[in-house]
Structure 1
Amino acid sequence: MKKSVASARVMGVGCLAALLSACATMPSSGPSARSVGKIDERAAADFPIKVIDVTDSVARNILASRRQTLFSEELGDGQPIGSVIGRGDVLDIAIWEAPPAALFGGVGGDSRLAASSASSSPTARGTVLPEQMVDSDGQITIPFVGSVQAADRTPQDIAREITARLRGKAHQPQTIVRLVRNAAANVTVVGDVSSSARVPLTSRGERILDVLASAGGVRQPVGKTTIQITRGAKVSMLPLETVIRDPRQNVRLRPDDVMTVLFQPFSFTALGATGKNEELPFEATGLTLAQGLGRVAGLQDARANVKGVFIFRLENPEALDPAIRATARLTPDGKVPVIYRINMKNPETFFIAQSFPIRDKDVLYVSNAPLADIQKFVNVIYSTLLPVATTATAM
């Protein structure tokens, strides 16, 4: 009997020793806060990963480096089309003379114009020329006037020049120039729209949302759609939701602008001692750390280390302090591997978290608290030794 009890005790001690030796290899969802801290200690030896404690100044630097350029600032609010004539546009030109008409008095005149002039002024004479298309050189040809530069000028400017050049040939001439068909001023709409198209611009002054509606609207949710405007060599981007919410960003488009509608399903991944571990999408307008923690149901009270909240990110060098940037080793695509360390035990962090941005492809990781690992270890020991102790007691 005593020999059996002794054997059970030896077995229990052996199991305890084995468990103690395996303590460092307890199951875990990721590195501990201490392990991440060791990376920071090795950073001085040009270790490629930088560990940065999140403070108010750090959050401000990141926000300043990634500030969105507004359409109203970069593109401005252009003039309505029709005020400036372009190559390929078709013009309607009417020339009037006071009596006695010398050049255009009823000869070859347009019947519509003659009828209207007879009702308003029986002595007025005029004619409507055949529609004039602005050629590749930007010119039109007018009888008794010759070639007139039309491109990049307003209809009023063209009319004044024609009138000036007819003086001395026609009797008190007057000219009206009107844009009939806009062939030069178009906007190209491509991307995630119902129908890609070339949308003509009119004197109404079409804006981004007008052109988007002409293309049938977007095919994806508004919150996940970005508008990109390409104007020459300049490219500007804004979330569609921002354009809708802020009327100042709904700017007028200009000829040859290319509007690309992009579906951008931004997301971040939550791992560790959070309420749920999964990849979570967010809107193109952005997401803050506070909102991200809310979407993962916060931290697990029984497991989480409130001093061990981390964001793993490939950061743009412009967002980092110059001293950190100087010693950083860039990835092939020009990014810096960074681990942002957040101390949620500090009340000030909750204010910083309301402005600290979550970026696309970020990994939000919450490490286990040391006591949680100890509790896990104790539970394993208890579940292993309890049957041994029960057997020894029974013997």
Structure 2
Amino acid sequence: MARWLYTLAWYLAMPLVLAHLLWRSRRQPEYLRHLGERFGANAQRTDMQPLVWLHAVSVGETRAAQPLVAALLERYPGCEVLVTHMTPTGREAGASLFAGQPVRQAYLPYDYPFAVRRFLRAWRPTIGVVIETELWPNLVAVARSEGVPMALVNARLSDRSLRKARRWRALIQPALASLDLVLAQTDSDARRLAQLGRHAVPVLGNLKFDVVAEPALEARGHRWRSAWLAKSPSTGLPRFCVLAASTREGEEAALLDAWAAALQPPALASRFPPLLVVVPRHPQRFDEVAALIEARGFRMARRSRLSDNQGLDTQVLLGDSMGEMAAWYGLADVAIIGGSLLPHGGQNLIEACAAGVPVIVGPHTFNFAEAAEQAIVAEAAVRVADAPRAVEQALAIVLDGERRQSMSDCALAFAGRHRGATGRTLQALTPYIDRRAVGG
């Protein structure tokens, strides 16, 4: 009955679904592209090659899928991989990450039974693998009826998400029970999944520790350091860089105000000419954040208008580009992790640690709760209460070379200790794939 009512609500909400797409397309026209895929249409598969389907809702999940895709293609060279998304930014990230590989991309259809069935019959996947969090009741039910095994891997469930899921237990619990395989990131995630009725969930670690930065992006970051930090054109002094990574609305204004206050008196800025790099999480906010920077009187440059080797005499650099986070970490001396200063749960701090960048997080890290605590214990990261303290800590770290190097070493060691989830995940998936006669 619960799923019947849920499905009815989807049909009744169809005008709102279409209106939502139109509204989002005002700032991101990509939301109206491939519209048929949102309803299970436009699949173009004509061959009978085995196909492993992974669902990665947005950018973070797509990056997490990267090492698993590589491992699948190595283990099963005769198969194709389909990666589905829900957001244009996720799709764009996938297009960059999987370029030149036998990987197809599409949007996952909305959770209408007819759309999901059309999607599954068109693509005929050997197995469906959902990365991290997305659990759609009709998708799971229709996949079972169509004979498609479904797995939830790299699963995470915060306390906040558990509270929400409990309100929808009548929908979530049967969907969880119907999955063929569930693999959790941490013991805490497994315990929370057990509270929703899925017991004895294996804990295999976090795929994000296995993500390897593209060498070309790392090299770009090093070129930026040489061009932008070696010497300030105005003072002739070397510079340091504080990166505000994947910031969310409300955080940029607070950080910019704190940055202005911290650089008083002007003697500090003249002695240690700092560079603040702000990289917003969502590209549709680039112009909005540029206006915030200009309104505070900072000398500003935009990444989209700079060459890699161009000199830089600016106080704040806006990272208005996509797919360059690894390069930004190659530039940075310390990183403030966005989404953690306000209650958004925090963005991915693992990528910064893997690059050897000291990390500062705010009070809100429920999306990466265990990783954040482990990084703090490992002395790879520090936690602060708000934006002013984040800036204060960032300046303290960059001005203390010994501490900065120690945190960098600890970050690299922390990231290295937690690698290996990809191999364990592939091993768990292999019986389901082999059972349906894929590859070697």
Q: Report the structure, 1 or 2, having the larger helix content.
A: 2
Larger radius of gyration: 1
The structure that is strand-richer by fraction is: 1
Q: Which has the higher contact order (CA 8 A, sep 6+)?
A: 1
